[in-house]
Amino acid sequence: MKRNKGMWFKARQNGYGWLPVTWQAYAIVMVWVAIFAGFVAWANMAFSNVWLAMGVSILFGGFWLGVLYGVATMKGEKSRTSTNSSAESRERQS
């Protein structure tokens, strides 16, 4: 598969999502994991109630996952599952 210049993530062959292919993409993923893990550790120390810490961590994780999704969408190739149009699926059924 020929990689487009400037693409940090390639679309997965099966399923949904992207895989990092450049050092920039790997750096983004490592920074994402480090920030999320650090926040979860901080939340566990900052809140005496475990359920509150878990809830805050889940909310922060959802936001942070949206940030990673946005970066992968902007700097990655178009997802293979989103390229299947309804016309193509109808054509396969015929």
d(CA 52, CA 87): 47
Instruction: Give SS3 for 9.
Output: strand
Condensed to tens digits (0 to 9), the pLDDT of residues 10-61 reads 877 777 778 888 898 899 889 989 998 998 888 888 888 889 988 998 999 8
| Residue 86 token pair | 């309804």
Alpha-carbon distance of 40 to 34, in angstroms, equals 10
What tokens were used for 66? 């949206």
**How many Cβ atoms from other residues are within 10 Å of residue 79's Cβ?**
17
pLDDT value, residue 44: 86
